[in-house]
Amino acid sequence: MTATQLTSENERTVVDAVPKQLLIGGSWRDAEGGRTLDVEDPSTGTPLASVADASPADAMRALDAAVAAQASWAAHPPRERGEILRRAFEQIVARSDELALLMTLEMGKPLSESKAEVTYAAEFFRWFSEEAVRIEGRFAVAPNGAGRMLVTKQPVGPCLLITPWNFPMAMGTRKIGPAVAAGCTMVVKPASQTPLSMLALARILEDSGLPDGVLNLITTSSSGKAMGPLIADRRARKLSFTGSTEVGRKLMEQGSQQLLRLSMELGGNAPFLVFDDADLDAAVEGAVLAKMRNIGEACTAANRFHVAGPVAGEFSERLAEKLGAMKVGRGTEDGVQVGPLIDATQRGKVADLVTDAIGRGAKAVVGGQAREGAGYFYNPTVLADVPGDAKLLKEEIFGPVAPVASFDDEAAAIAAANDTEYGLVAYVFTRDIKRALRVSEALETGMVGLNQGIVSNAAAPFGGIKHSGFGREGGREGINEYLETKYIAINL
């Protein structure tokens, strides 16, 4: 590791407090050969810390530990599994300031947003602490009256949980929470860009009484090489993945060898529809949230705005005014609302998409370029008159860029919204209740935000259709991903 850019004692303290090793079978260990990987501060591009860089053999040891712990964990009383999550929830809440600072340092988002993610992350543990004791089956008389039927739920077994960098803690808790509640053991692999939040979370679970081997944590710079053999190992029973559609497809292919149970939360290309009867103030507020939360780096981010012709101009102007006034900077600074993008590659992708749209005739109402200097900053951008063939209407932008296109009528709005292979979420702004339901039902997505710019809620089933994946996380549905149904036929 070279020089760091930590600007305060506080920052140094929170980074130092995080374990940097692998957690396998209840003990923290170095990676084979003592290899490490650097974690960067995206606001400066300089290293923040180094963590263990697991080899395939390390990863296999983590699976061995998960397999060894599975039987006793499945037999652990559900109430106690729930209590562990409840204690972890309380610890996360109590330590939310330091966890938020840690998250901002490795991921870049403003402190207030990190704080919101920490709260959201904790909510999954609270929710699933309550679900652990509500795993129910049924008992019935067979139709012929002679036999009885008992239906019961059991944990699927050792799980592989792979998470992305954009929500470093919440994407962990919404997999770990239901896995713990259901009685599954696991190998968790966070993204190499943001492992610190997950390492801190693992320590919290340990302190909350999670038995050794239930959660094993692998940080690695070679995800494919480390996880491939685990996905191919028949002792692993489930893979839950959040990340790109491209990688999800690859993992699904690998998992097909042993018919692995899968949950896939993949890319999005969310349309944001504004009808001419919408409350425009509410639509602009909702648009800022749906676009700018997490610097636009969310699979639920509004990717494209389809606005009714008569209000499209005013909407673009007002959105541009809001986005143009947002303060860009290091997420730790007071008043900053827009942090850096995660790395140079991501910023390059955003810049290419904007250049393409402008080349095809779109107009930049505000922004339109990267910010000079250190870090991976991109200025908030609104593009008006975006033509239908612009690439950013088809591809996930993952940055602070809002393209606005107009539509003529409701049918055209629905057709434009559904003209994508993705199907995670859509946003609809209208004051007409009939239209609200008609459009919501016609949208090919797993979720709809009706007159609101955020849908995420631990109590709701989060997930997509089409190329956005399958399976649901959170809500009453979330725990089912970690349970098998067994039917016992009883002869009387």
What residue ranges bind ligand ADP (CB under 6 A)?
162-165, 189, 191-192, 223-224, 227, 243-244, 247, 250-251
Name the residue among 346, 348, 344 with its Cα closest to residue 356. Answer: 348
Q: Is 299 labeled as catalytic in the residue annotation?
A: yes
CA 15 → CA 36, 41, 51, 103, 118, distances in Å?
A: 16, 11, 11, 10, 16
- In angstroms, the CA 367 to CA 387 distance is 18
| Residue (of 202, 236, 248) closest to 64 by Cα position | 236
| Closest to 355 in 3D by CA, of 374, 383, 317, 315 | 383
Of residues 299, 396, 473, 481, which has the active-site annotation? 299
> Of 167 and 272, which has the nearer Cβ to ligand ADP?
167
Rounded Cα distance, 70 and 280, in Å: 53
Count of CB atoms situated within 10 Å of the CB of 248: 23
Q: Give the DSSP letter of residue 211.
A: P
279 contact partners, CB below 8 Å, separation of at least 6: 429, 431, 451
CB of 120 to ligand ADP, least distance (A): 18
Q: How far is the CB of 270 from ligand ADP (least distance, A)?
A: 16
Residue whose CB is less far from ligand ADP, 105 or 162: 162
Active-site position among 106, 265, 473, 481: 265
Contact present, 369 and 379 (Cβ < 8 Å): yes
CA–CA separation, 51 and 49 (whole Å): 7
- The residues facing 263 across adjacent strands are 240
Residue 207's Cβ-count burial label (10 Å; 0-12, 13-18, 19+) is exposed
CA distances from 21 to 160, 194, 230, 385 (A): 19, 14, 20, 50
Helices 96-107 and 196-207, packing angle to 10 deg? 150
Is 265 labeled as catalytic in the residue annotation? yes
Of the pair 166, 430, the CB lying nearest ligand ADP is at 166
Closer residue to ligand ADP, CB minimum distance, 11 or 297 = 297
The residue whose two tokens read 């959105």 is: 319
Helix (H, G, I), strand (E, B) or coil at 442: helix
Give 125 or 241: the residue with its C-beta nearer to ligand ADP.
Answer: 241
**CB nearer ligand ADP, residue 192 or residue 216:** 192
Beta carbon nearer to ligand ADP, 11 or 113: 113
Residues identified as active-site: 265, 299
